Amino acid sequence: MRKCLMCSISIEDKHRRNKYCSRSCSASHTQLGKPSNNRKLAPKSSKPPACVCGARISTFDPRRSRCVSCAKKHKADTRRKRASLLKKRKDAAKAKLLATKKQKLNGTSKTRPDRYTKSVRRAYQLAYYSKRKSILVKLLGSKCVDCGSRKNLEFDHRRQDTKIAAVSTMILSKSFQSTKLEAFKCDLRCRTCHSARTKRLGHVMYKRKESSESRRTSHKLSIKDVRKIKALLRNGMVQQDIASNFGVSRGTISAIATGRTWSDV
């Protein structure tokens, strides 16, 4: 009876022409002496390789250095090591979570890096603001135009119709070039002189104009048209006819009739 060239197991009569008992033995015998996973070439030998314990590896891949019993032990050891490693990681995570909770209770938590904390960002913004403001103050003379004071200086726009935004706001939100152009529209005044000028010119600079026409410049209807529409509505004219006469939608006439728009006319 013929025996397998790899594992020396007897081959059945119906497969007596085969040299190996199975395809795995055929592949294993073919791979003997060939490199695998960048390993060094195994020395060519007609005998199958031996395990660490001294047993011949007949039913295992010859590239491995363990027999079946040793492989089982190694697998069990590997599982045990992985389980212990996972347990250590879980314990470390629990300890870290408890430490974070204690820090939050004590008010000393550091959940984020120092460069992202609110106090650090605030300090950076203040330094950036003071640096840019000092440059603009030097460009404008570094003193109040009214009393000559050099403390608590503020940017006061000469004309409100050319104002885009407050210079103090633009320092942190706009480019320095656009902020500088806006600062050239201003005079330097101390806080006292600035508030006094604002109170003195407040009725011109900051109060809204009383005229309704100035607030209705972008509307299609004028105040005279609205008065005519209201008169027609009192006379009982249909809203759709009024809308077609004035070239507006029926919803516009309905809003005027209910007082949702143009209630002050």
pLDDT tens by residue, 110-122? 555 555 677 888 8
Question: Distance (Å, rounded) from C-alpha 29 to C-alpha 79?
Answer: 31
Q: What is the pLDDT of residue 202?
A: 66
Q: What is the pLDDT of residue 20?
A: 81
Per-residue pLDDT of 185-239, as tens digits, reads 999 999 888 888 888 876 444 444 444 444 454 567 888 899 999 999 999 888 9
Helix-helix angle 250-258:223-235, to 10 degrees: 80
Q: Return the number of other C-beta atoms located less than 10 Å from residue 188's C-beta.
A: 23
What letters, b where the CB count within 10 A reaches 16 and e where it falls short, cover 38-68?
Answer: eeeeeeeeeebbebeeeeebbebebbeebbe
User: What token pair was written down for 170?
Assistant: 């633009």
CA atoms within 13 A on the CB side of 80: 6
Q: What is the pLDDT of residue 100?
A: 80
Q: 144: exposed, middle or buried (C-beta count within 10 Å: 0-12, 13-18, 19+)?
A: buried
Q: What is the pLDDT of residue 85?
A: 92
Q: How is the chain split into domains, by residue range?
A: 1-64, 67-111, 118-205, 221-258
CA atoms within 13 A on the CB side of 109: 14
Q: What is the pLDDT of residue 71?
A: 78
Q: What is the pLDDT of residue 8?
A: 77
Q: What is the pLDDT of residue 122?
A: 84
CB 198 within 8 A of CB 157: no
Q: What is the pLDDT of residue 262?
A: 86
Q: What is the pLDDT of residue 84?
A: 92
pTM higher than 0.75: no
Question: Distance (Å, rounded) from C-alpha 36 to C-alpha 49?
Answer: 15
Q: What is the pLDDT of residue 57?
A: 64
Q: Which residues in the chain show pLDDT less than 70? A: 1, 14-16, 33-50, 52, 55-65, 107-116, 202-219
Q: What is the pLDDT of residue 114?
A: 54
Q: Among 200, 128, 205, 165, which Cα is nearest to 155's?
A: 165
Give the distance from CA 238 to its chain's centroid: 56
